[in-house]
Structure 1
Amino acid sequence: MIPSWIIIGAVTFFIALGSFLITPRDVKWFARLSRPHWLVFEPLIPLIWTVIFVCGAASAYIVWQKHPGSLITWLVMALYVLVEIITVAYIPIMLRFRSLKAGEILGLIGLISGIVLAICILPISRMAALLLLPYLVWTPIGTYTTEELKELNPQDA
């Protein structure tokens, strides 16, 4: 039998591959947008998201280990997958539709879904909930940044 941590890691990895739906043409659109002067951490964003995804996978693993295979655990795992899909969809959808508003909406949906997930898992494991803190802290930062991009680039809102 395959260990649960391998399955959780693989699911996380394969969903994250959805970010490869970005085309060079889409990237050119985003690259030409004006950015806020305080956005000095942009080169670190891939590393930040890698840490967030690892923490999310570790959180899912802890929850799975508490009650492996139970209906509640499967429902919570589905919520983890939903949060990751929303998160990964943010950039490809925003770029594909060239709409900062679409990115902002997905960011808000991801934040709300992440909060719901954290509330659902808190009774199962405080550590699993704590591992979602990087996501819950970073998502509003990303959503706020998108809002600022809209202000600086109203033609691309």
Structure 2
Amino acid sequence: MKMFFQQKYLWLIAAWMVTTSVLGGLATKLGPWYFSLIQPPWKPPDWAFGIVWTTIFILSALAWMVAFNGGASQSQKNKITMLFWLNGFFNVLWSVLYFRMQHPDWSLIEAFFLWGSVLAIILVMWPIRRLAAYLMMPYLIWVTIAMCLNWETLVLNPGAY
């Protein structure tokens, strides 16, 4: 019976999930500055963000496994791995810029790189296994929503950064 996924890749994916989520979580500081910001009325409650990100990381890990198990060449596996680690960097950097440095203006610019990294993963996965690309769609949608939220925060809080 063929193993669904090789253990060495599972550790790599788990390392990406843990590293990105822990560093992103540590960079997310909900302090007085954040709570003083005027938020758009459609912003989800703060507690929902953890649920959304956990779901996105699980779907991303599944997408990674499906792509690797779906006949990806070694070159494609290397590209997917590099793109996920680049995405993790952009993910954490956004939190550092927004929450730690209190610069939603800089984080909005950076968010385009985060969005592009998710799109790049989808485009690389698409010819390998479409299911893997579809599993990444919620991540792209969420980053798009986050960018809109980031923009509205800038509009509602001129000079707060």
TM-score (norm: length of structure 1): 0.87
Shift in Å at residue 87 of structure 1? Answer: 1.5
Match of 1:134 in 2: 138
Match of 2:3 in 1: none
The partner residue of 1:149 within 136, 139, 153 is 153
Match of 1:106 in 2: 110
The residue type paired with residue 10 of structure 1 is A
2:39 aligned counterpart, secondary structure:
coil
Is the 2:28–2:95 Cα contact (8 Å) retained in structure 1?
no
Shift in Å at residue 23 of structure 1? Answer: 7.3
The partner residue of 1:93 within 92, 97, 105 is 97
Q: How does 1:24-103 map to 2 (within 5 A)?
A: 27-67=31-71, 70-103=74-107
Shift in Å at residue 55 of structure 1? Answer: 0.7
**Cα distance in 1, alignment partners of residues 130 and 86 from structure 2:** 21
1:124 aligned counterpart, secondary structure:
coil
Shift in Å at residue 68 of structure 1? Answer: 6.5
Match of 2:18 in 1: 13
Shift in Å at residue 42 of structure 1? Answer: 3.5
| Superposition CA RMSD, Å | 2.1
Q: Which runs of 5+ in 2 are unaligned?
A: 1-5
Shift in Å at residue 30 of structure 1? Answer: 1.3
**Cα distance in 2, alignment partners of residues 5 and 23 from structure 1:** 27
The residue type paired with residue 18 of structure 1 is L
Is the 1:63–1:124 Cα contact (8 Å) retained in structure 2?
yes
The residue type paired with residue 44 of structure 1 is A
Shift in Å at residue 53 of structure 1? Answer: 0.9
- Residues 69-95 of structure 1: per-residue CA shift (max 9 Å, x gap): 712211221101111221232112212
